[in-house]
Amino acid sequence: MTVPFDIAIIGAGPAGMAAAHEANSLGLSAVVIDEQNAPGGQIYRNVQRVIAERPEDIRILGTEYACGNGLADGMQSSGIKHLAGHMVWQIERDGTVWCSDGNKAKRIQARTVVLATGAMERPMPVPGWTLPGVMTAGAVQILMKSAAMIPDGPVVLAGSGPLLLLVADQLIQSGARLAAIAETTSFSHYLAALPKLPKALSAMEYLKKGLQMRRRIKASGVPIISGISGLRINGGAKATGITFKAGGRTHTIAAETVLLHQGVVPNTQASRQLRLDHGWHDTQHYWYPKTDVFGATSEEKVFIAGDGAGIFGAMAAEVSGRLSVLQIASHLGVIDVAERDRKAKPLFSEKHHHDAIRPLLDALFPPPAEILNPRDDATIICRCEEVTAGDIRKAASLGAPGPNQLKAFLRAGMGPCQGRMCGLAVTEILAAALGKSPVDIGAYRIRPPLKPLSLAELADMDTDPGTVTSSSL
């Protein structure tokens, strides 16, 4: 007999792991489906092995990172099913989740779905960003966490955001050779952020950490160049450095590794595939699925927890994972509304605390106009199909009214990444070219499969919907 899970949780980062904990403690049946081989998401990537095998690296990766270990261990020792190494390729509104372990596709039935699919770094289209030797700052941090690897030759970091400085700091402590940090943040951003400071003071630990980081970087002697613009990456077969303008003159910095970062944005691939209602964040220029305080979406059985619903960071993500499960438990009749509210109350105040730092960070690190809508026509926007900013502007002038029509003109968004890399820029470029708002322009429609899967994986699928359920896993 088919017994569906109460909750299918997609993603094993802070939101997903916390949701699993809460489900377990309320006696709900849950399955966590995650693409990685170990729990942690990107923020706590590989944390269990780092602590077991090279605990000295916590000094570099940070005590916040080490905190993820408790969540990961807790989830694994609970009764919650964890399908590691499983790629979700379709989610249905009724709670059906289709995934694959790489060999065989599976269908999972659940009463509700919690998307805990997190964030990704904003793609940073600048001339030369497709060259080997260019990566995101987050990519190198993943290499530090998952493989204890750092760049060998000189490194330059460019862009803005807390993660840019964090990775710079961690690389310095790891012994990497940093040529410079070139940040788009300028004095005017500090002025703009100033009114947000009083509220942010209540989340003092974030401010302290940021200041300590900057102090350590300064003390290391690595030059920080602020207020840069016109960033481009030099090189032919691979990157050889960057050129930019700052303080009225042109700078060129040689490096073998160029690390780009311009903040993080919700990964909306799954929420778009589910056709959830989305909103537009005016300061940070990203799409977010609309949710209520419990993470409920425009679809009754679908909840979103963590940065997938808007960027608030790992600590807030944990809290939101718990809140979603409390609401689901009350919907399923496991707890009544009074108990939900009693349990939710401290969580709301915790969330409020972590959210307090965001307006300051959002104002301090806005994505610059030249990243949102690159001026240089030759800049590649869609990396897969090699479509440039100029191509997109031309298609707009020929009558392409939105991202989905652009696919027919240029194949933009139709390569293997399915628009993950170009989607935001395509919306912004069309909006600017046509004199409309991003909301009027809209976003790519996302269709399953969310990631390509082979015919062999499909052919081997268990077609009996009762095969993978809470009773038989």
Q: Applying CB under 8 A, which residues contact other proteins?
A: 35, 37, 42, 46, 49, 53-54, 57, 87, 120-121, 123, 130-136, 138-140, 142-143, 146-153, 174-175, 237-238, 256-257, 267, 383-386, 415-417, 420-421, 451-452, 454
Q: How far is the CB of 337 from other proteins (least distance, A)?
A: 39
How is residue 329 written in tokens? Answer: 């438990």
The CA dihedral of 428, 432, 436, 440, to the nearest 10 degrees, is -10
Cβ proximity to other proteins: between 174 and 405 the closer is 174
Closer residue to other proteins, CB minimum distance, 57 or 428? 57
- Nearest 10 degrees: CA dihedral of 291, 293, 296, 297? -10
Q: How far is the CB of 300 from other proteins (least distance, A)?
A: 28
**CA neighbor of 389 nearest in space, from 378, 400, 398, 401:** 378
Q: How far is the CB of 122 from other proteins (least distance, A)?
A: 11
Q: Which is nearer to other proteins, 139 or 225 (CB)?
A: 139
In angstroms, the CA 47 to CA 43 distance is 9
353 vs 383, beta carbon nearer other proteins? 383
CB-wise, 314 or 329, nearer to other proteins?
A: 314
Alpha carbon distance 156, 210 (integer Å): 20
CB of 259 to other proteins, least distance (A): 11
| Cβ closest to other proteins, residue 121 vs residue 428 | 121
Query: Shortest Cβ distance from residue 236 to other proteins (Å)?
Result: 9
Residue 291 near residue 309, CB atoms below 8 Å: yes
User: In the complex with other proteins, which residue's Cβ is closer, 144 or 335?
Assistant: 144
* Measured distance CA(290)–CA(292) in Å, rounded: 7
Tokens (6 digits) for 119? 């964030």
Judge contact between 365 and 185, C-beta under 8 A: yes
Both tokens of residue 52? Answer: 């077991």
- Closest residue by Cα to residue 88 from 297, 273, 302, 264: 273
Minimum distance from residue 80 beta carbon to other proteins (Å): 23
CA distance 43 to 244: 30
Residue 30 or 242: the one with the smaller Cβ distance to other proteins is 242
Q: Pick from 303, 322, 335, 334: which is nearest to 110 by CA?
A: 303
C-alpha 346/C-alpha 181 separation (Å) is 40
State the nearest-atom distance from the C-beta of 384 to other proteins, in Å: 7
Q: Whole-number minimum distance, CB 114 to other proteins, in Å?
A: 20
Query: Which residue number, 59 or 245, has a Cβ lying nearer to other proteins?
Result: 59
Question: Residue 241: beta bridge partners?
Answer: 234, 254
**Please, which contacts does 276-281 make with residues 24 or more away whose CB atoms are closer than 8 Å?**
276/302, 276/304, 278/443, 280/437, 280/438, 280/439, 281/310
326, 343 Cβ separation under 8 angstroms: yes
Q: How far is CA 308 from the centre of its chain?
A: 7
Q: Min. distance of Cβ 90 from other proteins in angstroms? A: 17
The answer to whether the beta carbons of residues 242 and 234 sit under 8 Å apart is yes
Q: Report d(CA 193, CA 199) in Å as an integer.
A: 11
Compute the least distance from the CB of residue 454 to other proteins, in Å. 8
CA distance 162 to 166: 6
Minimum CB separation of residue 173 from other proteins in Å reads: 11
Q: Which is nearer to other proteins, 175 or 333 (CB)?
A: 175
Nearer to other proteins, 151 or 210 (CB): 151
> Is the Cβ of residue 406 or residue 433 nearer to other proteins in the bound state?
406
Smallest gap, in angstroms, from Cβ of residue 168 to other proteins?
17
12-49 burial code (b ≥16 CB/10 A, e <16): bbbbbbbbbbbbbebebbbbbbbbbebbbbbbbbbbbe
